[in-house]
Amino acid sequence: MFNAWGHLVHRFRWLVLAISAICLGISIVGLFTGGQFSMGNSNDNSLQAAHASNLINAEVNAGKSAGQPSGGTFLLIFKSERLSASDPAFKSALETAVQPLGSDSRVVKVSTPYNQGIPLLPNLVSKDGHRALVDQVAGEVHSPTLSVVTTGNVAINKAFDTTLETDLQRAEYISLPVSLVLLLLIFGAVVAAGLPIGVGVLAILGGVAATLTLARFTDVSQYALNIVTLIGLGVAIDYSLFVVNRYREELRAGATRPDALGTTLATAGRAVTFSGITVAIGLSAMLFYRGTFLASMGAAGALVVFIAVFYGLTFLPALLAVLGPNVDRLSIFPVRMRGGVGFWQGLAAWVMRRPVLVLIPTLGFLVVLGLPFTQLRMANGDVDVLPPHVQARQGYDTLVRDFPGQDQNFYEVVVYYAQGNPMSADHVGSIYDLSRRLAGLHGVLRVEGMVDLDPSLSRADYVRMYTGPTDQLPAAVQAKLQTSTGSHLAVLTVASDLPASSDGARTLLSQIRSLGVGGEGQVLVTGQTAFDVDVIGYIIDHTPIAVAFVLGVTYLVLFLLTGSVVLPLKAIIANLLSVSASFGALVWIFQQGHLSGLLGFTPQPIDPTTPVILFSIVFGLSMDYEVLLVARIHEEYLRTGDNRRAVAEGLARSGRLITGAAAIMVAVFVAFGTAEVVIIKAIGVGLAVAVALDATIVRGLVVPSVMRLLGDWNWWAPRPLRALYRRSGLAELGMHGPSPHRPVGEAA
């Protein structure tokens, strides 16, 4: 099938190139018509924190100032080295700076330390008295007297967007030139080196357009473009490298251009297809986390892999058919660099002479690299994932450090009556009792809500007050009811001095959730700690089935590639070692803080989505190299029937290419490792470590030693499965016809 496709592409090469141009045009249109990315916690009601948050938004926030936005705020921190916030000159300068906001229709409210009805409201003035906080919704403020730092959710979200965009541009500026240089070293010719770069650019454009289109129909994380570009660029260049190299080999061996292209696609093209399938399978693990952004990122990643394979099997071979021998034009080396076939063949031979001696310490080394992962601690990424020099991050750090009460952690406790009204006498009494139990828990500083307005009021007072007409209540009480009650719920805000991701905060969350209000009422909790715990629990609960699916389907695909039931198992175990090592590096560097000064980030718990993303990509890419290597070994084994020779020849013929491809992939990942957003930096560094280990230690030492120990059993399959494999037409017959030998387990 692949051979026939190669001849077909050669015959209709100009038509294929025209179709590729149409696809490029569609991608460009998609870049300008796509949707917007999202940022925030999951809104899946299966998470209690999300369910509680959705109820608050539906019944409380929706009722705020009908027709006006209830959303974002800016927090402006004004500072003077000379004046204190109580100085009239400070007050005058601040009020002058914010005065234009009063006539801005986009601004709902401006809160300053001077307009709250209480002189210099404490939580709006810093501890040293030289900074004042102004809460606003929109607008830009300047002052010739005071310095101004902007933070708050709108400013932080904008900082994320800007920083991620800058990270993406930096990564592309670094990775593309470095990849080109490495390709020049591998091919020794400008034309051959330029082809994988061209396919990489096409894959990026297609992947970004597909991701933007996906964002029109579902929530897609703002991290998606970085991840899609990272994957698309890496695999597209990798796949193109193998296709171009095999085509050059066939031409140099004397094949005609149609036959060279047919053989190229029957070997490298077939391997690339199976490799793309395994990478997509790895990314499909994220589809099991529906209700989070992981599912859309998994879909976007699979799309960009499909696009890379598509161009690798259409545009690239069509261009090769047009170029023919001209693919070697513009040679930059006087003598073609054969580059290390002897080294890889010698390494394979050396390893296979002492397989046990090599295998045991190598496996021990990989296991040790993964040990830090046993100390993993997870928490949702916060503003700390931004670099310290970003103004929104600086303002947030100042806010938490210098302003009273701003470092507190808040739990929003929703008392929900699906069929009732929280203002009935029984319900008011139950809410009062719950509030007092909450106030008595360890770590709780205070409780705020409809039954916490005045400490002198008793339970009976609140019941009596709320069972009468609410429109006759004092204005302050009515205002509180508007912000803390809905038609079916009441919200109690619990303030704590326990850090949001600490064990103490999580214990307090568990204690709050264990409380009840009796009858048909439900107690639901949301807030940062609640989202941390719920998202982590959700990911842990769904990981076993996601991993099992990936391993099972990968095993099946590798069987279809090799006809063996042994090699897929060996490949999966080897890949899990690469995943383990990358996870260990993730914790050792980003959680424990090693290299934090060099890499420029704040050590922190790992975002729970990061291990999922890393596993999905690492497993797929590790299997990528496994497929490309085993496909070549399998080809040699079918040709010679000698396992030991096949391993040596396969490694000799593909080792240099795998190393070169891995070097390019590492360069791409290291470029993303320069990102300033910690999550992208962590994924880039983790992938670079995994691919470097996989292409050297795993492929160079583990694979040949294990395959030497297994011998012909590498290719074994039960007789019924082997017969099925033969009848399926998937068996590779190799370049010189059927194998003269009979693999272990084949029927006589």
The confidence band for 739, taking pLDDT boundaries of 50, 70 and 90, is very low
pLDDT of residue 140: 59
- pLDDT tens across 33-48, in order? 877 776 655 566 778 9
* pLDDT attached to residue 491: 94
- pLDDT per residue as tens digits for the range 565-611: 888 888 888 888 888 988 999 999 999 989 888 888 888 889 888 89
| 729 confidence band (pLDDT: 50, 70, 90) | low
The pLDDT, as a whole number, for residue 119 is 59
Q: Which of 483-487, 499-503, 637-641 has the lowest mean pLDDT?
A: 637-641
Asked if 42 contacts 301 with a C-beta cutoff of 8 angstroms, the reply is no
CA 498 vs. chain centroid, Å, equals 29
Consecutive H or E run containing 382: none
Q: Determine which helix (DSSP H) or strand (DSSP E) holds 396, and give its type and residue range.
A: helix 391-402
| 36 φψ region: left (φ > 0), alpha (ψ -120 to 50), beta (else) | beta
| CATH class given for the domain over 1-33+159-336 | mainly alpha
To 10 degrees, the CA torsion angle through 21, 23, 29, 32?
-110
What are the C-alpha distances in Å from 336 to residues 24, 184, 245, 328, 484? 34, 11, 13, 10, 75
Is residue 516 scored above 70 in pLDDT?
yes
How many CB atoms are located within 10 Å of the residue 391 CB? 14
The predicted pLDDT at position 746 comes to 41
Q: What is the pLDDT of residue 155?
A: 79
Query: Contact at 8 Å (CB) between 438 and 512?
Result: yes
pLDDT of residue 39: 60
Sign of CA dihedral 725, 729, 730, 731: positive
> Which of 17-31, 37-51, 136-150, 698-712 has the highest average model confidence (pLDDT)?
17-31
Q: What is the architecture, at CATH level 2, of domain 338-370+549-732?
A: Up-down Bundle (1.20)
Read off the pLDDT band of 333 (50, 70, 90): low
What pLDDT does 181 receive?
86
Q: Provide the residue ranges of all domains of the chain, joining segments of one domain with +.
A: 1-33+159-336, 74-151, 338-370+549-732, 392-532
What is the rounded distance in angstroms from the CA atom of residue 183 to the CA atom of residue 196? 8
- Span 417-440, average pLDDT: 91
- Quote the pLDDT of residue 742: 40
Beta bridge mates, 491? 414
- Which has the higher per-residue pLDDT, 152 or 16? 16
Q: Would you state the structure tokens that stand for residue 63, as one six-digit string?
A: 């009722």
**In this predicted structure, what is the pLDDT of residue 735?**
33
- Specify the pLDDT at position 121: 62
Q: Is the pLDDT of residue 222 over 90?
A: no
Same topology for domains 1-33+159-336 and 338-370+549-732, yes or no? yes
Estimate to the nearest angstrom the gap between the alpha carbon of 258 and the chain centroid. 42
Q: Is the pLDDT of residue 169 over 90?
A: no
Q: Residue 261 and residue 5: Cα distance in Å, rounded?
A: 9
Please give the span between the terminal C-alpha atoms of the chain, in angstroms, as a whole number: 28
Query: Average pLDDT, stretch 424-442?
Result: 92
Residue 339 has pLDDT above 80, yes or no: no
pLDDT grade for 69, boundaries at 50, 70 and 90: very low
DSSP-assigned letter for residue 697 = I
CB neighbour class for 173 (10 Å; exposed up to 12, middle 13-18, buried from 19): exposed
Select the more confidently predicted residue: 101 or 9.
9
Nearest to 320 by CA among 239, 245, 234: 245
Distances, alpha carbon 719 to alpha carbons 73, 567, 713, 723, in Å: 68, 16, 13, 6
454: tokens are 């005045």
Express as a percent the part of the chain with pLDDT over 70. Answer: 91
Tell me, letter by letter, the H, E, C secondary structure of 465-530. Answer: HHCCCHHHCCHHHHHHHHHHECCCEEEEEEEECCCCCCHHHHHHHHHHHHCCCCCCCEEEEECHHH
Residue 642 burial (CB < 10 Å; 0-12/13-18/19+)? Answer: middle
User: Of residues 658 and 371, which shows the higher confidence score?
Assistant: 371
Q: What is the pLDDT of residue 352?
A: 83
pLDDT over 90 at 652, yes or no: no
Identify the pLDDT of residue 373: 92
Dist. CA 175–CA 666, nearest whole Å: 9
* SS3 (DSSP) at 376: coil
Which runs of consecutive H residues, i.e. helices, occur in 131-256? 153-187, 190-214, 224-252
In the prediction, which pLDDT does 511 show?
Answer: 95
Q: How much is the mean pLDDT over the chain?
A: 83
Alpha helices in 253-283 (DSSP H): 257-264, 270-283
Bigger pLDDT: 529 or 719? 529
Nearest to 451 by CA among 421, 497, 491, 418: 491
**pLDDT band for position 460 (cuts 50, 70, 90):** very high
